[in-house]
Amino acid sequence: MAEMIAEGPFGEAVDETLGGLRLAEVAWRPVASVQPFRGRQGEVEAVTGALPGPGGASVAALALALDQWLVEGVAAELAARLAGLAAVTDQSDGWAWLRLEGAGAEAAVSRLANFDPEAPDCAGPFARRTVLARCPAVVARREAGGALELGCPRSYGRWFLGAVRRAARAEAGG
Amino acid sequence: MRLSKGGLIDRSETFEIRFDGRRIPAHPGDTVASALLAAGERLVARSFKHHRPRGIFSAGAEEPNALVGVGRGSRHEPNVRATVQEARPGLRLASQNRWPLLSVDAGAAADLAKPLLGAGFYYKTFMWPKAFWEKVYEPLIRNAAGLGRLSGRADPDPAEKRTRDCDLLVIGAGPAGLMAAREGARAGLRVVLAEEDFLLGGRLLAERETVGGVPGAEWAEGVRAELESLGVRVMARTAVFGVYDHGLYGALERGPGGRATLWRVHARRAVLAAGAIERPVAFEGNDRPGVMLAGAARAYLNRWAVAPGRKAVVFGAGDDAWRTAEAMAAAGLEAVIADARPVSALGPAPEGVKLFAGTVVSGTRGRLGLREVRLRSDRGERWVQADLLAASGGWSPSVHLSCHHRGRPVWDAGVGGFVPGADLPPGMSVAGAATGAWSTHAALRDGADAGRAAAEALGASVGAAEALPEAEDAPRRFAPLFLVHGAGKGAYVDLQNDVTVADVRQAEEEGFGAVEHLKRYTTLGMATDQGKTGNVLGLAALAQATGVSMGDAGTTIYRPPWTPVPISAFGGDHRGEAYRPALEAPSHAWAAARRASFVDSGAWKRAEWYVRGRERGWRDSVDREAALVREAVGICDVSTLGKIDVQGPDAAAFLDFVYANMMSSLAVGRCRYGLMLREDGFVFDDGTVARLGETHFLVTTTTANAGAVMRWMEFVRQGLRPDWDVTLISATDQWAQVAVAGPRSRTLLERVVAEDVSDAALPFMGWRDVTVGGVAGRVFRISFSGELAYELAVPARYGGALMERLMAAGADLGVAPYGTEALGVLRIEKGHAAGAELDGRTTAGDLGLGRMLSKKKDFLGRALAHREGLTDCERPALVGLRVVGEGALSAGAHLFAPGAGRTAAEDQGWVSSVAWSPAIGGMIGLGFLARGAERMGETVTASDPVRGRETDCEVVSPHFVDPDGERLRG
């Protein structure tokens, strides 16, 4: 019987240097969306730890919308711990993530985005639901001074990689 | 002619550009216009309508005449203003709107026909015969008039689009803009300074005055250095062209090589410091090559060290004419001043310059370039030789961007021009010459004040004001000069549109004397320059014709763009393969490796069929795949169907409200087909709903409607029923879902999943958790094909592996993949509706699903689904169509009774889907036929006039295969 071998979302392994920029795939890890039911956020945070405010990010969670977070963790385990408190949905395979770092990373993203990643509110941790190169996307920074993470729905993966790569190359002067 | 010294050009480097094939020397710092003038090129263009010879008229963005084509082949760009285009090595330029040559233009015959081409001529001249308009007159006019032509080929250097955020956007880098940016930056604001020119300094670059004790250009460079040290983003070559909502500004940046970047600048505040534009004067023959704005002549002398002529008449009624004459004299060139003011109002003439007081220019001569100028005064008329006529009628503040939110400028007699009104775009202030502050000192002060005010408005800490740099602050002496008495058919107010004083008068006489009417009737202020030099002059002509003041005549307002923006810049790189994203299913790579042909399905690339062996056409593959599913087992990636995870205490009530049929009664572990209506009662979408838990559902949508359904459900959740505690999130991309269909599908499934999937354990319309090779997944027993079928879901990263595993496990069962075409054949054979049937015009009743509309609950669309027009028994209803004989059937064909006329009154319905059915052995279709359910066995004719097909069909049940559903329950 054929083995169940996982495939990455980009159709290729991504880890490359473009001028002063490094573009790499974020390795698969379990994540789930967590949407607390009405009035239960406090109880949810007692389980997950503090969740970032709107537009915010932490090492373990990105705020994607009002009352909606993308949280690191196995969905089934989170669902069990948050039963009756929040809707938990496995998103581990739903998103494809790239990491872009180095001088000019923000400028490269500004070539694709409808917001300015160089603005002060993007200097620290942040998460922004947006559109990058016509893909629904998330741009996030989990720690001040850290790399940018660029996420898109998995089905956009190859197209998204092409767009980000072109922008990074343009910024790097290639 | 190039002067021997001076100018802001780099004489250490010389390169060539080409104009109509001629070699033109240029230096870094030159524009195309300055290089052409330096080379003695006076004739550079033909006018839009009259094909009049035209030269370089201005020195900036306002240029109405000198439009040229830049570049060759696919890089060709038409209608580029020579006055803003930087010269660069190898640049190739071509004149426009002429044939065969610029100097010998057949189109110049239009100038002779000028009496026929007056205001609104196309509304009244070419009326008869009527049939001639479209085929003769219009092509003739379009051919004769015009600007440059597009290459028609894709530009190999696509534009970029970028976004920038700032506290303060300063538009224009003249003295006011530089000071505004500096004050804002010193207060700690994040400042963007945008300047259309490639140098900062604005008007300072064109004059010989000093600021802070140093030449103006040098002072501007010093400020630039300070701005950059303060973190200001200085964007030269960037024209802000539009002011949009919520502090969004559009800006076009041109790289040194010409490549465009479209910027979206989000600014909390903006200072408009766009300066002012000099006005021409309307006199007979004011359009010949060699006639130029006085300030432009000064700019060519001072900034580019170019003599725009050797012998000049400088005409005006104010300081600008005098300053130009002084600059000419200082460069060793001959100049006389014709000043309309009486001698008593004037001082002594500048040294070396002859003064004609109380004198106007009333005419010119020179076929392809100015040769003589006629001066008129109380003492009579005289012709003087001249190759340059520099005229100044005053200056108009650049109010354009202040109008983009419908702001209306107001006439200020003291300024002698229209100034921004109080109704500015939110967050915008105006400074410097754009408000009519004419002296350099006033501009510096105004800019500094605006920068500080912006900082205070944003809550920034503003320190004590510093002393302004020392600068010219002399009161302006001028009298606005618009029309010379006698100006008429040869006196142009709008050079780009060939609108004359006579045209304005004629428009007024014919009842188009309101400013908005005048604009449309004469085209005053239209085209690429948007009336930058001509609009106010045209309004002056109107005011004179109607006998009212300028203020009472009023003005039209300006809208984006301030400067021409190529459509390709708006498009950016959104073209070709990058035009829109291509979504790939989890097994895309697997399918591609197996000779799948892909089709666009919404934004997805889906496998439509797989070529096997020596199959020579798509029908071979599709027939094989469809038969395979009926006889053995096939697998098909259906991951593209939308999947929405619905959870919460009110999830069941929510779905009852969204779907027309009941969902709250669905048991955990079961699935149900659901029908969703729009509020107007028509069917919106269909799909299955699986109940995963008491408060947890998984909704499946059609591929094409996934996004729309998600948006609709979010609208309902947030807008219509915010009282319900329910959450929604897309899970479409999380899962790879594969249909396993055919009589051997259960056998295959049993081999790949660890759990019991027998009919007892997993009945029709049930689902359960399973593991596939150690990977957790789900299996749903649902069928689109009408066969025993399942949909097996695993996390998306295993999509390719799942297909491979199914293929390996089912080799002896004859398993093979099938694509969307076979899927279409199978569902048509079964009579399942899809996108072609759910086209927004059909009701549940039309689809034979009227009984699904619940009578026990409320649901969206319920009220309007029962309105008279939607329950009419005459409405076309879903039927099957079986071709009688050998004819071909077309989707989109309309249905008629045999022998009936092909008229709308006789139209009885249409064909929505067709297929060649291997199971039936012939062509079949689904369609909608009036009173369809009552007409089984009748013959109707499907008429497709597009393809010339008339096909007789038997009306049958839409369920061609297994009408009782025994196979799918097997």
DSSP of B778-830: EEE---SSSSSEEEEEEEGGGHHHHHHHHHHHTGGGT-EE--HHHHHHHHHHH
Enter the tokens of residue B189.
């604001």
- φ, ψ for residue B471 (rounded to 5)? -155, 165
Please tell me the predicted confidence (pLDDT) of residue B696. Answer: 98
In 3D space, the residue among B880, B897, B969 whose CA is nearest the CA of residue B932 turns out to be B880
Q: Which residue of A has its CA nearest to B733?
A: A94
Percentages helix, strand, coil for chain B, rounded to the nearest 5? 25, 30, 45
Q: Which residues of B touch A27 (CB under 8 A)?
A: none
Whether B729 sits inside 8 A of A68 (CB atoms) is yes
Whether B798 sits inside 8 A of A4 (CB atoms) is yes
The DSSP H or E segment spanning B223 is helix B216-229
Residue bearing tokens 């309101």: B514
First to last CA, chain A: 46
b/e map B51-83, b = 16+ CB within 10 Å: bbbbbbbbbbbbbbbbbbbbbeeeebbbbbbbb
Between A8, A118, A154, which is nearest B733 by CB? A154
- Would you say residue B122 has pLDDT above 80? no
Enter the tokens of residue A92.
């581990």
b/e map B463-493, b = 16+ CB within 10 Å: eeeeebbebbeeeeebebbbbbeebeebbbb
Whether B581 sits inside 8 A of A156 (CB atoms) is yes
B699 residue type, one letter: V
Whether B604 sits inside 8 A of A155 (CB atoms) is yes
Mean residue pLDDT across chain B:
95
Quick one: pLDDT band at residue B671, thresholds 50, 70, 90? very high
B514 residue type, one letter: A
Q: How many CB pairs under 8 A join A and B?
A: 142
Whether B775 sits inside 8 A of A4 (CB atoms) is yes
- Would you say residue B970 has pLDDT above 80? no
Whether A37 sits inside 8 A of B798 (CB atoms) is no
In 3D space, the residue among A166, A163, A95 whose CA is nearest the CA of residue A129 turns out to be A95
* CA distance linking residue B888 with residue B952, whole number of Å: 9
Please tell me the predicted confidence (pLDDT) of residue B442. Answer: 97
Q: Which residues of B touch A91 (CB under 8 A)?
A: 729, 731, 734
In 3D space, the residue among B727, B271, B932 whose CA is nearest the CA of residue A40 turns out to be B727
- pLDDT tens for residues B442-500? 999 999 999 999 999 999 999 888 899 999 998 878 888 999 999 999 999 999 999 99
B707 residue type, one letter: G
Residue bearing tokens 């008629």: B896
Q: Which residues of A touch B580 (CB under 8 A)?
A: 134
Please tell me the predicted confidence (pLDDT) of residue B380. Answer: 96
Among the listed ranges B60-69, B154-163, B430-439, B951-960, which one has the minimum average pLDDT value? Answer: B154-163
Neighbouring C-beta atoms of residue A72, cutoff 10 Å: 17
- pLDDT tens for residues B517-568? 999 999 999 988 999 999 999 999 999 999 999 999 999 999 999 999 998 8
- pLDDT tens for residues B244-270? 999 999 999 998 888 899 999 999 999
Distance of CA B887 to CAs B415, B898, B917, B941, Å?
Answer: 80, 15, 14, 11
- pLDDT tens for residues B909-918? 999 999 999 9
- pLDDT tens for residues B641-656? 999 999 999 999 999 9
- Would you say residue B922 has pLDDT above 70? yes
Tell me how close the Cα of B56 comes to any Cα of chain A, in angstroms.
37
Q: Which residues of B touch A93 (CB under 8 A)?
A: 733-735, 795-797
Distance of CA B740 to CAs A158, B632, B786, Å?
Answer: 27, 10, 12
Please tell me the predicted confidence (pLDDT) of residue B573. Answer: 83
Neighbouring C-beta atoms of residue B219, cutoff 10 Å: 23
- φ, ψ for residue B418 (rounded to 5)? -80, 135
Which sign, positive or negative, has the C-alpha torsion B605, B607, B611, B617? negative
Contact of B453 with chain A, judged by CB distance below 8 Å, is answered with no
b/e map B400-430, b = 16+ CB within 10 Å: bbbbbbebbbebbeebbbbbbeeebbebbbb
Whether B164 sits inside 8 A of A118 (CB atoms) is yes
In 3D space, the residue among B832, B787, B789, B802 whose CA is nearest the CA of residue B627 turns out to be B787
Average pLDDT over residues B761-775: 97
**Alpha helices by DSSP H, B5-131:** 32-38, 109-112, 121-124
Using a 10 angstrom Cβ sphere, with 0-12 exposed, 13-18 middle and 19 or more buried, the burial of residue B327 is buried
* CA distance linking residue B892 with residue B927, whole number of Å: 9
Tell me how close the Cα of B445 comes to any Cα of chain A, in angstroms.
30
Average pLDDT over residues B602-614: 95
Tell me how close the Cα of B841 comes to any Cα of chain A, in angstroms.
30
Torsion of CA B770, B772, B774, B776, to 10 degrees: -40
- Would you say residue B90 has pLDDT above 70? yes
Whether B582 sits inside 8 A of A159 (CB atoms) is yes
* CA distance linking residue B316 with residue B75, whole number of Å: 42
The DSSP H or E segment spanning B181 is helix B175-186
Which sign, positive or negative, has the C-alpha torsion B410, B412, B416, B419? negative
* CA distance linking residue A34 with residue A18, whole number of Å: 35
Please tell me the predicted confidence (pLDDT) of residue A97. Answer: 98
Beta strands in chain A (DSSP E): 15-18, 21-25, 31-36, 61-65, 68-72, 86-90, 95-101, 126-132, 135-141, 148-153
- Would you say residue B131 has pLDDT above 90? no
Q: Which residues contact B44 (CB under 8 A, 6 or more apart)?
A: B19, B36, B54, B55, B56, B65, B66, B68, B82, B95, B102, B289
Please tell me the predicted confidence (pLDDT) of residue A174. Answer: 60
* CA distance linking residue B578 with residue B581, whole number of Å: 7
Please tell me the predicted confidence (pLDDT) of residue A2. Answer: 61
* CA distance linking residue B573 with residue B158, whole number of Å: 5
Tell me how close the Cα of A17 comes to any Cα of chain B, in angstroms.
22
Please tell me the predicted confidence (pLDDT) of residue B941. Answer: 97
Whether A11 sits inside 8 A of B589 (CB atoms) is yes
Enter the tokens of residue B19.
């104009």
Tell me how close the Cα of A133 comes to any Cα of chain B, in angstroms.
8
Whether B734 sits inside 8 A of A2 (CB atoms) is no
Q: Is B675 helix (H, G, I), strand (E, B) or coil?
A: strand
* CA distance linking residue A132 with residue A149, whole number of Å: 12
Between B731, B735, B800, which is nearest A7 by CB? B800
Enter the tokens of residue A31.
């994540």
Tell me how close the Cα of B804 comes to any Cα of chain A, in angstroms.
6
Enter the tokens of residue B565.
């923006």
Question: How far does CA B538 lie from the centroid of its chain?
Answer: 30
Please tell me the predicted confidence (pLDDT) of residue A1. Answer: 62
pTM score, two decimals? 0.89
* CA distance linking residue A151 with residue B715, whole number of Å: 25
Please tell me the predicted confidence (pLDDT) of residue B803. Answer: 98
Average pLDDT over residues B708-734: 98
Please tell me what DSSP assigns to residue B119.
T
Q: Which residue of B has its CA nearest to A121?
A: B165
Tell me how close the Cα of A59 comes to any Cα of chain B, in angstroms.
22
Which regions of chain A are under pLDDT 50?
A: none
Q: What percent of chain B has pLDDT over 90?
A: 88
